[in-house]
């Protein structure tokens, strides 16, 4: 129970920090969605945080982990079918992924699924994401070519040492401006998902509407069990 209690306390502290950062940006804390990312942590820990805090927005970085905690089997169709309350998929960065999700949603007859397009703002080859100059193409494909998906915004993952964090965030914001101008949509209808444990306050101050926070809430990741299973 000690680990569960620590996670509950940590999440409440995150809420406070989010409120303060939102106020500094001239917004309300309700304008920022906190996604608690529990990567490598057991479902029992998530359940404890869910029960004790009333928080309802949780995420995973990998499809298989999401399904195991849902639970069920593998990839796009299984993800959509297994996680009945799946509210959004962030990380769509090519037409193939968008098409897979679109067909998966159609095949089970669920309501259209909100998605975010992932943009590689740091230019690192190890990172997923479309180049900023090409993000309009993917957004148009999702918006006009995938009737079972709803384009909801843009997401990015900054560099691990945060040295280029401000520029990464500015790049994503510029992409939003260009997309909204191209599509004739209000900027407040295009969310920004940027900011994690080490930089979420700065992300909020720079306009983020979604922050993905893992280790600050749940503690360091532990891949040893997963490696032993491989």
- At residue 224, the pLDDT reads 57
pLDDT at 99 over 70: yes
Q: What mean pLDDT is predicted for residues 162-180?
A: 89
Averaged confidence pLDDT in the chain: 86
pLDDT band per the 50, 70, 90 thresholds, residue 220: confident
Task: Please state, for a pLDDT cut of 90, what percent of the chain lies above it.
Answer: 56
- Condensed to tens digits (0 to 9), the pLDDT of residues 101-139 reads 999 999 988 899 999 999 999 888 878 899 999 999 999
- What is the pLDDT averaged over residues 21-33? 95
In the predicted model, what is the mean pLDDT of residues 202-225?
85
Q: Which domains does the chain have, with CATH numbers?
A: 2-220 (3.20.20.10)
pLDDT of residue 68: 54
Q: Which residue has the higher pLDDT, 97 or 74?
A: 97
pLDDT digits (tens, 9 = 90+) for 43-87: 888 888 889 998 999 887 755 445 455 545 346 777 787 677 789
In three state form, how does the secondary structure of the chain look?
CHHHHHHHHHHHHHHHHHHHHHHHCCCCHHHCEEEEECCCCCHHHHHHHHHHHCCCCEECCCHHHHHHHCCCCCHHHHHHHHCCCCCCEEEECCHHHHHHHHHHHHHHCCCCEEEEEEECCCCCCCCCCECHHHHHHHHHHHHHHCCCEEEEEEECCCCCCCCCHHHHHHHHHHHHHHHHHHHCCCHHHCEEECCCCCCHHHHHHCCCCEEEECHHHHCCCCCHHHHHHC
């Amino acid at each position: 129970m000690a680990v569960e209690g620590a996670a509950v306390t940590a999440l409440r502290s995150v809420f406070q920090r989010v409120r303060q950062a939102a106020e500094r940006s001239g917004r309300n804390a309700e304008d920022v969605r906190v996604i608690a990312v529990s990567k490598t942590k057991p479902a029992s820990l998530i359940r404890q945080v869910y029960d004790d805090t009333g928080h309802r927005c949780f995420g995973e970085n990998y499809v298989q982990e999401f399904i195991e905690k849902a639970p069920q089997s593998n990839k796009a169709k299984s993800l959509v079918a297994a996680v009945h309350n799946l509210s959004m998929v962030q990380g769509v960065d090519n037409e193939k992924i968008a098409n897979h999700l679109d067909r998966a949603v159609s095949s089970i007859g669920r309501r259209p699924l909100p998605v975010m397009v992932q943009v590689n703002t740091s230019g690192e080859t190890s990172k997923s994401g479309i180049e900023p100059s090409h993000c309009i193409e993917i957004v148009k494909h999702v918006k006009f070519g995938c009737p079972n998906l709803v384009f909801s915004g843009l997401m990015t993952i900054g560099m691990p040492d945060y040295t280029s964090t401000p520029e990464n965030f500015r790049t994503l914001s510029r992409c939003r401006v260009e997309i909204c101008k191209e599509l004739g949509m209000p900027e407040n209808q295009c969310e920004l998902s940027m900011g994690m444990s080490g930089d979420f306050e700065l992300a909020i101050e720079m306009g983020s509407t979604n922050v993905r926070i893992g280790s600050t809430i749940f503690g360091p990741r532990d891949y040893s069990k997963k490696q032993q299973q491989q």
